[in-house]
């Protein structure tokens, strides 16, 4: 269950934080915190599916759904038949990805400069990695348009 909770935490960050999510879902900030908490008292408290779907939508990437699929030995792939959001790839797409990739590098550098790496450092790196992955997935989807 730790994998699902870590995915929820990453998706919260991509979605803009728990305060943004509460505006678009039925969950409160305290509930969302419990869903991502790895404390023993919240170990069995999992994100309801409707909230997980909304958080993934807000995150712009199926972070939680992908983690749940991996937990069962599957992986999610983009649906090549959905064309509604496709557009031609631009130089801006490459620059967006490069920017996100550099954010990953900077987060890792910041983490490595410390004597001790803590959970906040790991969360910062994970958030940047997920943002870079989101940009790559957007490029993959748009490859169909050229």
Q: What is the pLDDT confidence band of residue 88, given thresholds at 50, 70 and 90?
A: confident
87 DSSP 8-state letter: -
Dist. CA 106–CA 132, nearest whole Å: 13
Alpha carbon 35 to its chain centroid, in Å, reads: 15
- SS3 call for 93: helix
Where b means 16+ CB within 10 Å and e means fewer, 52-79 reads: bebbbebbbbbbbbbbbeeeeeeeeeee
- Confidence band (pLDDT; 50, 70, 90) for 82? low
**Residue 81, number of CB atoms within 10 A of its CB:** 6
What does residue 25 show for φ and ψ, rounded to 5 degrees? -140, 175
Helix axes 49-59, 63-71, angle to 10 degrees: 130
The single-letter DSSP state of residue 78 is -
Q: What are phi and psi of 145, to 5 degrees?
A: -95, -20
pLDDT at 20: 92
Q: How confident is the model at residue 84 (pLDDT cuts 50, 70, 90)?
A: low
Specify the pLDDT at position 81. 66
Q: 80 pLDDT band (50/70/90 cuts)?
A: low
């Amino acid at each position: 269950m730790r994998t699902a909770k870590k995915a929820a935490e990453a998706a919260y960050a991509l979605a803009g934080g728990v305060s943004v999510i509460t505006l678009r879902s039925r969950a409160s900030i305290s509930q969302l915190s419990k869903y991502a908490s790895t404390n023993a008292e919240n170990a069995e408290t999992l994100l309801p599916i409707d909230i997980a779907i909304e958080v993934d939508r807000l995150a712009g990437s199926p972070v939680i759904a992908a983690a749940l699929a991996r937990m069962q030995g599957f992986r999610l792939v983009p649906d090549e038949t959905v064309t509604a959001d496709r557009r031609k790839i631009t130089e801006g797409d490459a620059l967006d990805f490069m920017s996100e990739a550099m954010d990953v590098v900077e987060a890792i550098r910041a983490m490595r400069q410390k004597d001790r790496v803590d959970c906040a450092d790991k969360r910062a790196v994970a958030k940047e990695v997920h943002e870079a992955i989101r940009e790559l997935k957007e490029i993959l989807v748009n490859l169909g348009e050229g």
